[in-house]
């Protein structure tokens, strides 16, 4: 299994990396391993833009795509998405599956979540669905009649005798992880490499772990995140920083090296992709936050060299670090 994790607050370009890796490698499965339809994955496929919330990118390549037991599923959204993909020319038949022990987001969960005010959730029922799962009063996919044709048993899927090669695609990000994020301004699931394992996979299954970050940070939610300064509004404008699920404007800041280092350690990264280098290039300012201070650079190369050196100390060699300036590829 190769795992893709977001190192910041979501929206760093996991969809793009998943798209890239599934072209490069021959996976038998793509697994969504956490979260619900709070996620919004923007994928540019053959020149067309798609936004998916539940369904993993494998479907764009005809690879078996599974929504895992670490996720929560809104059946209405699931069927809407299948329709949207079919309409966009993507064949979904026999390609999309749901683990039978995945928990369901009910209408009541959504109604409750829409009233939420403190965290600034996406209002998609995510938190209440996980609460009921752990409160042992939840509903599983196996008990929803219209999901029957899509159900799989993950144990049979992984250990059924065939060789499996999995791409595990996370949702949200390390900075809003339930344990490692800035609690309570977090989501309700495990956004880490460990979260991928919760879908019936042993630690020894992990091959590469690809981390995705932005060259600056964005966050959407109730806490104050963006510092004073017009440059941050400019970054949001140039970077088109609006949530793909809720349309809310994302707050921005410079990339924080310590957030990144924590994420690299805790997720056991082997590769890192930095997205949106083209955005800072248009802005013409290069800075990061390191040990609580803003550290400015004269040019792009000075900044990418600095970051690359730091990653090397953490065991990630230059050939495993990518600075991406395209929406479609790394
Ligand atoms: P929830 O996951 O809807 O409960 O929202 C909790 C927090 O996570 C809020 O700050 C959301 O804006 C944020 N969030 C949830 N999903 C995503 C995502 O896919 N990308 C970015 N932020 C997210
Ligand atoms: Mg997103």
Residue (of 13, 2, 108) closest to 328 by Cα position: 13
Residue 114, H or E segment: helix 107-114
Q: Which atom of ligand 1 is nearest to the CA of 223?
A: 10
CB of 52 within 6 A of ligand 1: the answer is: no
* pLDDT value for 303: 98
Q: Which atom of ligand 1 is nearest to the CA of 246?
A: 12
Residue partners of 185: CB distance under 8 A and separation at least 6: 119, 120, 176, 221, 222, 223
* pLDDT value for 327: 83
C-alpha 101 – ligand 1 centre gap (Å): 23
CB of 73 within 6 A of ligand 1: the answer is: no
Residues of the chain whose pLDDT is less than 70?
none
Q: Which atom of ligand 1 is nearest to the CA of 41?
A: 19
Residue 303: phi and psi, rounded to 5, are: -75, -45
Closest ligand to the CA of 170: 1
CA angle (235 as vertex; 252, 18 as ends), nearest 5: 75
* pLDDT value for 244: 80
CB of 120 within 6 A of ligand 1: the answer is: yes
* pLDDT value for 46: 87
As a whole number of angstroms, the distance between CA 49 and CA 39 comes to: 16
- Give catalytic residues, as residue numbers: 11, 41
Q: Whose CA is nearest to atom 9 of ligand 1?
A: 121
As a whole number of angstroms, the distance between CA 308 and CA 286 comes to: 15
Beta strand pairing status for 72-73 and 103-104? parallel
């Amino acid at each position: 299994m190769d795992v893709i994790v977001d190192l910041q607050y979501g929206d760093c370009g996991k969809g793009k990396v998943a798209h890239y890796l599934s072209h490069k490698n021959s996976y038998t499965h793509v697994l969504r391993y956490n979260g619900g339809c709070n996620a919004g994955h923007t994928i540019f496929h053959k020149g067309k833009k798609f936004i998916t919330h539940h369904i993993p990118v494998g479907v764009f390549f005809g690879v078996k795509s599974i929504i895992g037991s670490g996720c929560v599923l809104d059946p209405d959204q699931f069927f809407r998405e299948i329709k949207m993909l079919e309409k966009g020319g993507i064949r979904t038949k026999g390609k999309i599956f749901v683990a039978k022990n995945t928990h369901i987001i009910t209408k009541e969960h959504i109604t409750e979540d829409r009233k939420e005010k403190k965290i600034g959730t996406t209002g998609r029922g995510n938190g209440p669905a996980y609460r009921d799962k752990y409160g042992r009063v939840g509903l599983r996919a196996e008990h929803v009649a219209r999901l029957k044709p899509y159900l799989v048993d993950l144990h049979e899927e992984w250990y059924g005798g065939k060789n499996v090669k999995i791409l595990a695609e996370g949702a949200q990000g390390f900075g809003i992880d339930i344990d490692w994020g800035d609690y309570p301004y977090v989501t309700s699931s495990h956004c880490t490499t460990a979260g991928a394992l919760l879908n019936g996979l042993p630690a020894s299954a992990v091959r590469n772990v690809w981390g995705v970050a932005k060259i600056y940070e964005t966050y959407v939610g109730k806490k104050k995140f963006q510092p004073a300064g017009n440059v941050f509004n400019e970054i949001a404008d140039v970077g088109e920083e609006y949530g793909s699920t809720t349309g809310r404007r994302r707050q921005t800041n410079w990339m924080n090296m310590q957030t990144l280092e924590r994420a690299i350690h805790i997720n056991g990264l082997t590769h890192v992709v930095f997205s949106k280098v083209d955005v800072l290039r248009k802005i013409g300012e290069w800075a990061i936050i390191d040990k609580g201070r803003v550290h400015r650079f004269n040019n792009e190369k000075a900044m990418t060299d600095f970051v690359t050196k730091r990653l090397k100390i953490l065991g990630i060699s230059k050939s495993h670090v990518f600075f991406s300036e395209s929406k479609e590829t790394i």
